[in-house]
Amino acid sequence: MDIQRGSNVRKNRKIRRIVFSAAALAALSGAGLAVMRSQPAVPAVESGSIFTDTVKRGPMLREVRGIGTLVAEDVLWIPAVADGRVVKIDVYPGAVVNADTVLMELDNPELREQTVDAEFNLKAAEAAYEDLSGQLENQLLEKKSAAAQLVADYKQAALYAERDKQLDSARLIPRLDAQISAMKADQLKTRAELEARRLTTIEDSNRAQLSAQQVKIGQARALYELKKGQLDQLTVRAGAAGVVAQLGAAPGTLEVGQNISAGTILAKIAQLRKLEAELKIGETEAKDIAIGQRARIDTRNGIIQGQVSRIAPTAVNGNVTVDVKLFGELPNGARPDLSVEGAIELERLNNVIYMGRPANGQPNSAVTVFRIAPDGRYASRVRVKLGRASVNTIEVLSGLQPGDRIVLSDMTAEDGHDRIRLD
């Protein structure tokens, strides 16, 4: 038979449920409080994946670096002296040439015709000079002959006049005859003097005419030599020892069969032994560069010492162009447009605290870095004030001491943590 339970049983069940609920709530509250009071977990970083350095005290060399190319100090641009058409190209960029090496050959039929005409005009002018010189010489000889005859006639008349004067003194001839003889002698004397002066004038006139003809010859010769020179220069030569840097005003702008006009750039010749480095330095790092500072240029085949010789007045695409004059013998393979890397020495700092330059280290700024504990197991974030910087090192003004070990790698992934564990 069924036994009916009493109200005490139901009351006990209710009490047990309340007790269990309270216990569960207390447990959850305790766990939450423990979580709230516990420290966040320390993230682990693999030691082999980070770069570290030790803070030091001593001399620090400040440098800036940039990439660039070798360029020729002396560049010869060869222009076309006359219109023409490219009929042959004998050498191409990269070829080593001498001053008389033929680079290319041009053709201009009109110029050839003009040269032939100029040569005939010169010969005609020279022939005209010879003809005029002969004519003037003949005329001068005729005038000299007439002048000589007058002188002879004068001398003869003078003798007659002297004879008649003596006869007149002896009363052997009439005085009138003596006077006529003297008058005739005086007349011939005057004519001889006038003819001598006229002869001088004729000689001066002849010289003037010959000089005028010589001017014509000079003009004809200058025109011929100009045309002949232009014709000769259709065979384009290097003009200096060096290397062919490019053909045309820009690479790939000159080819066989192309018509060009006078003044068009045909080639660029660079001298191999007179090179300088042209570096591109970031505009923020170029502010301390000065002319005369020492530099090192790495050609990947040797280091060349140099000196800053020019600094561009403006920045282009965030870079300042700095020219470095090179000293000493150039290594093998050094040639124009060779890619190089250069380091410019700004200054040498003595007795300063410095360290390797961290990933986020900028000059005269404050950053946070992880300082490694002496046991090497943990690293804690510290705030560091930085000063002057070089390529790979930077001055420490405060926050670190010599001997401290720090993490140089980019630790932005751990921005939410002030402490890390090194595994």
One-letter-per-residue 3-state SS of the chain:
CCCCCCHHHHHHHHHHHHHHHHHHHHHHHHHHHHHHHCCCCCCEECHHHCCEEECEEEEEEEEEEEEEEEEECCEEEEECCCCEEEEEECCCCCCEECCCCEEEEEECHHHHHHHHHHHHHHHHHHHHHHHHHHHHHHHHHHHHHHHHHHHHHHHHHHHHHHHHHHHHHCCCCCHHHHHHHHHHHHHHHHHHHHHHHHHHHHHHHHHHHHHHHHHHHHHHHHHHHHHHHHHHCCEEECCCCEEEEEECCCCCCCCCCCEECCCCEEEEEECCCCEEEEEEEECCCHHHCCCCCEEEEECCCCEEEEEEEEEEEEEECCEEEEEEEECCCCCCCCCCCCEEEEEEEEEEEEEEEEEECCCCCCCCCEEEEEEECCCCCEEEEEEEEEEEECCCEEEEEECCCCCCEEECCCCHHHCCCCEEEEC
pLDDT of residue 10: 56
pLDDT of residue 35: 42
Q: Which CATH class is domain 47-70+274-422?
A: mainly beta
We find that the CATH architecture of domain 80-102+237-269 is Beta Barrel (2.40)
pLDDT of residue 305: 93
> What does pLDDT average to in each consecutive run of 10 residues of the chain (423 residues)?
51 62 60 48 81 92 92 88 93 90 94 93 92 86 82 83 80 82 84 84 87 93 93 92 88 89 91 86 89 92 92 92 90 84 92 89 89 90 91 91 90 84 84
